[in-house]
């Protein structure tokens, strides 16, 4: 099995690429989905979040209060590290279990936004695929998709790994400056390349 790490900046098209791999029958382990599951109502991370941050950071239905957490991050930079210390080991354990369950597949995709920011996450994969896009297009697409202001999107981008560093760490790069169909076709080409017999 080849474990292919999938990453890219905000608005680059990672989700579209992941969906294209799924259409080809490739198992996709989504780190963000695992994180949402851990912090959803009744999620296993919620008690530790309540203990570390207080009851106001848990909603009435027992989920992490994302709005309150975002506000806390703005006023307290250490809060993000505290939350990551709770969540990241749980995400790693869960994603490893999901990867192990799919071990008979010839190719597995690990969709992880922080893949290159965290060395221990990079070690979980054999190769890295970066979905790439010019920064201006990233901003336009993210604003259109999420309704965020340009300043907010630029703020997110400033906290992510610089584009040049992402590209330098990539084994494969798919440029996503066109349309979703072109991205799907590029994913299929890479899939054929990775799964064809040597």
Q: Which residues are annotated as a binding site for ATP?
A: 11-16
Question: H or E segment at 49?
Answer: helix 46-53
Quick one: angle between helices 77-101 and 46-53, nearest 10? 170
Nearest to 163 by CA among 138, 144, 180: 138
d(CA 151, CA 155): 6
Per the annotation, binding residues are: 11-16
- Residue 105: other Cβ atoms inside 10 A: 16
Cβ neighbors of 33 (< 8 A, separation 6 or more) are: none
**Bridge partner list, 127:** 4
């Amino acid at each position: 099995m080849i474990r292919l790490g999938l990453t890219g900046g905000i608005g680059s098209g990672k989700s579209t690429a992941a969906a294209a791999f799924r259409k080809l029958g490739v198992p996709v382990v989504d780190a963000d989905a695992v994180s949402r599951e851990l912090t959803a109502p009744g999620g296993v991370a919620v008690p530790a979040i309540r203990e570390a941050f207080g009851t106001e950071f848990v909603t009435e239905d027992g989920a992490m209060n994302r709005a309150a957490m975002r506000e806390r991050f703005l006023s307290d930079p250490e809060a993000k590290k505290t939350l990551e210390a709770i969540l990241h080991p749980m995400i790693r354990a869960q994603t490893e279990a999901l990867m192990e369950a799919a071990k008979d597949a010839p190719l597995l995709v690990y969709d992880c936004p922080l893949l290159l920011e965290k060395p221990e996450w990079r070690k979980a994969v054999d190769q890295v695929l970066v979905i790439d896009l010019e920064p201006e297009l990233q901003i336009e697409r993210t604003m259109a998709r999420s309704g965020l202001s340009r300043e907010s999107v630029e703020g997110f981008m400033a906290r992510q790994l610089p584009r040049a560093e992402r590209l330098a760490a990539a084994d494969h790069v798919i440029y996503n400056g066109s349309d979703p169909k072109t991205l799907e076709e590029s994913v299929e080409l890479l899939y054929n390349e990775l799964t064809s017999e040597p």
